[in-house]
Structure 1
Amino acid sequence: MPSEHPPVMLVDGYNVIGMWRRLQEIRDLQGFDLARSQLTEEMVNFSAYHGYKTTLVFDAYIQATPARAEKITKNLRLYFTDHNETADTYIERQCGKYRRDPLRHLKRIIVVTSDRAQQLTAVGFGAEWLSAIALEQEVEATWRSVQHRQKPQKADTKNLLGNRIDGDTKAKLAQWRNRLN
């Protein structure tokens, strides 16, 4: 039965891109857009598998654009901060709302960042904290788990008729089969 209050995960997107080696390579070779897309794709699957309501937060600090949110799936949305607002500021504001929520004891909020000051702030608000590297490990473990579950099971050959009859009978059957051909 789905939880009435699924865990909320707030991810500092550029912090994660800067910490995951494969996303760093994509960013350096092909740009931030592709790195963001790859992180988004990985978080779609991870969030759906775990039932997290995840927000990937990206700084728009130096761009003169208003904040905007994009719903990707029912479990994942992207949030681009307002001009002069950092991802840290947005995440802190969300943690502050969580702390003031009278039902916070029924809820769980997880902040993903490797920024030490942000870690301490999130925990101070009562949120859980996960480093970018720990998230990467959890994403990989989830992927392996899904792959293992989807792997076709090998057929049990012990119960096949050919394995239950004696050698003489097998030889006679082979002779008959050869005569038919």
Structure 2
Amino acid sequence: MRSFVSAMQKREEVLLVDGYNIIGAWPELVKLKNMRLELARDRLLELLSDYQSYSGAKVIVVFDAFSVPGLGAEYRHQKLKVVYTRERETADECIERLVGEWTSVRRHIYVATSDLVEQNVVFGRGALRISARELKLKVDQSRNDIQAAIRQETVSKRNPVSAALDPVLQERLEQMRRGIHNSVSKDGQK
């Protein structure tokens, strides 16, 4: 039983993201899309790249290039995999194909989209679904956790010695720093 549990814990997580669906669902990205679509795509990729680094999940972002002639394209954005669909292939069809290709007993596959039909199709093929709202919450939480860790590290780096000092000694040193000359004995008594 123990080996079964440990095998289950070691499953790789793969997150397939319907890029334009997410852009249309997140207010920050909608604003950028209204200025220039490229700005919204770049911001989404930046956010998901940070999320991938934090979560450890493999993230694949799919953008629909249905009416663009060609065989589609794949490239890396930092460590993120970005896929542009083939001509006459929708993002939904590409995601469904990728779910089939990535399905394994050693993986948890999640699909981030708010398209209810697509959620049902990928669920039927064995993937778990995440709405655009849920993904936004996960991305925001990871950003908050990262910022908190950075703040904590910054605070501890300001005076790393103080954490190791006895509070009475810290107080005495602080008084000396401020020019307060109260005599304090070894046992902390005045």
TM-score normalised by the chain length of structure 1: 0.81
Q: Number of matched residues?
A: 162
The CA deviation at 1:73 is 2.9
Matches within 5 A, 1:35-54: 35-54=40-59
Structure 1 residue ranges (4+ consecutive) displaced by more than 3 angstroms after TM superposition: 154-159, 162-165
* CA deviation map 1:101-154 (0-9, x unaligned): xxx222111100000000001111111110111101110100000000110236
Partner amino acid, structure 2, of 1:83: E
Aligned residue number for residue 87 of structure 1: 91
d(CA) in 1 for partners of 2:73, 2:64: 11
The CA deviation at 1:4 is 6.9
Aligned residue number for residue 28 of structure 2: 22
d(CA) in 2 for partners of 1:97, 1:43: 22
d(CA) in 1 for partners of 2:107, 2:116: 24
Aligned residue number for residue 178 of structure 1: none
What is the SS of the residue equivalent to 1:55?
strand
Query: Are 2:81 and 1:77 equivalent residues in the alignment?
Result: yes
Q: Give the unaligned 5+ runs of structure 2.
A: 1-8, 157-161, 184-190
Aligned residue number for residue 128 of structure 1: 128
The CA deviation at 1:9 is 0.8
Whether contact under 8 Å (1:162, 1:170) holds in the other structure is no
Aligned Cα root-mean-square deviation (Å): 2.4
d(CA) in 1 for partners of 2:61, 2:37: 14
Partner amino acid, structure 2, of 1:23: L
d(CA) in 2 for partners of 1:118, 1:93: 12
Deviates more, 1:90-99 or 1:7-16: 90-99
Aligned residue number for residue 6 of structure 1: 12
The CA deviation at 1:171 is 5.2
d(CA) in 1 for partners of 2:40, 2:175: 56
The CA deviation at 1:49 is 1.0
What is the SS of the residue equivalent to 1:170?
coil
The CA deviation at 1:65 is 2.9
TM-score normalised by the chain length of structure 2: 0.77
